[in-house]
Chain A
């Protein structure tokens, strides 16, 4: 199956023509959780393109360092720090090290997360805690550590949280992540309200399909996935990274407490008459199959 010839699909500008100039975030330090790969690396790349130094914070040294190596090619100061976003001591140590080596962290990208298809009745307590605590606790703990340091230093800053397109619709077959990602969006607004008076902004990007190296999707699979999406393609990682960097930039100084959906219209595709409903537990894959 492929797109009919009369359907028109448009791409964003190429990676080497980003929206923000290369010095817009010069002198700023951004800490990106899960920044060594996937969507975190996408955020880190866009922030580095705009001039920021990057502190990659990840659970495995190998992944964090690999991402840091890619980022260094952009010519910015980069550090890789290992720790678990569920552990306050690990978070404080990463901030300490980043401040020592790169400077005060004034941009935080909360990206660390985990996700996989599973029916609710099959989710073990450990699986539930793992997914929700990495996403919700991790974002909360990193954000509060970030804010405490900025408030003490009397500096403003910006937080961008990675959420998901299904936060307003639910996601059958993905109860743990559906709950966690929606929590992040509402918590974002609460943090924005708490910290506006300190000059700390908090926003959220709710992302659709953005395949990356760890998605293990082939180009053919990406094309087939794109058929599901109103704009006719999957998202490109640079698009997700760029809009995240925009929200952290001075251009968005008046934007806080908001969630920006970037999903090519995927969360809106609905028709009054649809194929017969198939409960997630009757499907081969609870998430459904690509066309």
Chain B
């Protein structure tokens, strides 16, 4: 039985970015009543992004007021082997794309005098080898969320982020975490989260070796 169908009724959203977690969240938002356009390979070009919004709005029948962006998948690679092109393809693609999508949403909502919400899906906060681009992106995004939350608060536009191992390449195999990622995304994006903005929270960031209890 669908128990959350009223959470996002009447809302129109874009879920951008690749990965299983983004698919899961798109499904959860639809379950919560939102009309969703899925963009699995989002552009980082501002003009293309504007076109993507136009297309989504035409398809969904109105202003987009909900954005979830999962960014760019980044395979682990040791920092000294990354050249400028590789850096641009990872770090820049991730934070540029997320910012430009968010700014496009913000401009449209401000013009339409409508409230809305932004949610970034991010990997867990644990730093491991080969994640220099990902780590830099995570720091940038966490503070972007907080800055935009205050900048747009009096416009009714909220920005939040969820960290989860389910958002990492390969994903998390634990079904409960993936499901809760979807429900939490829908909750934070809905009117029930009207007083929640500027947060970066996890789902289950316990290191496996500690959570085993051994």
Contact = CB atoms under 8 A, between A and B. Distances in A.
Interface of A: 3, 7-13, 17, 19-21, 24, 189, 192-198, 208, 230-232, 235-236, 239, 242-243, 246, 251-265, 267-270
A21 B4 CA distance: 8
Contacts of B59: none
Interface of B: 3-4, 6-7, 113, 115, 146, 149-150, 153-156, 158, 174-181, 183-184, 187, 190-199, 201-206, 210-213
Nearest to A271: B150
A239 B192 contact: yes
B77 to A, nearest CB: 29
B202 A263 contact: no
9 contacts: A8-B113, A196-B211, A230-B197, A230-B198, A231-B153, A242-B192, A243-B193, A246-B183, A254-B204
A8 B195 contact: no
Contacts of A243: 187, 192-193, 196
Nearest to B1: A21
Contacts of A268: 146, 149-150, 198
Contact of A197 (B7, B194, B198, B213): B213
Contacts of A256: 204, 206
A235 B82 CA distance: 47
Nearest to A231: B153
B157 to A, nearest CB: 9
B142 to A, nearest CB: 12
Given A3-B154, A231-B153, A268-B150, 5 more contacts: A231-B197, A246-B183, A256-B204, A256-B206, A261-B198
B195 A230 contact: no
B174 to A, nearest CB: 6
B191 A257 contact: no
A240 B195 CA distance: 9
B185 to A, nearest CB: 11
A254 B154 contact: no
B145 to A, nearest CB: 10
Contacts of B178: 254
A19 B187 contact: yes
A8 to B, nearest CB: 4
A253 B150 contact: no
Contacts of B174: 254
A13 B9 CA distance: 12
Contacts of A267: 198
Contact of A8 (B156, B179, B187): B156
Nearest to B166: A254
Contacts of A269: 150
A205 to B, nearest CB: 10
Contact of B196 (A20, A236, A261): A261
Contacts of B156: 8-10, 231
A9 to B, nearest CB: 7
A269 B146 CA distance: 9
Closest 8 CB pairs of A and B: A230-B153, A254-B180, A254-B177, A254-B176, A197-B213, A7-B154, A251-B183, A253-B176
A10 B115 contact: yes
A248 B210 CA distance: 22
Contacts of B191: 10, 12-13
A19 B196 contact: no
B153 A12 contact: no
Nearest to A234: B195
User: Which among A10, A208, A232 has the greatest number of chain B C-beta atoms within 10 A?
Assistant: A10
A235 B196 CA distance: 10
A193 B206 contact: yes
B195 A264 contact: yes
A157 B184 CA distance: 19
A10 B192 CA distance: 11
A79 B204 CA distance: 33
A196 B213 contact: yes
A255 B196 contact: no
A236 B205 contact: no
Contact of A193 (B146, B183, B211): B211
A254 B181 contact: yes
A9 B150 CA distance: 13
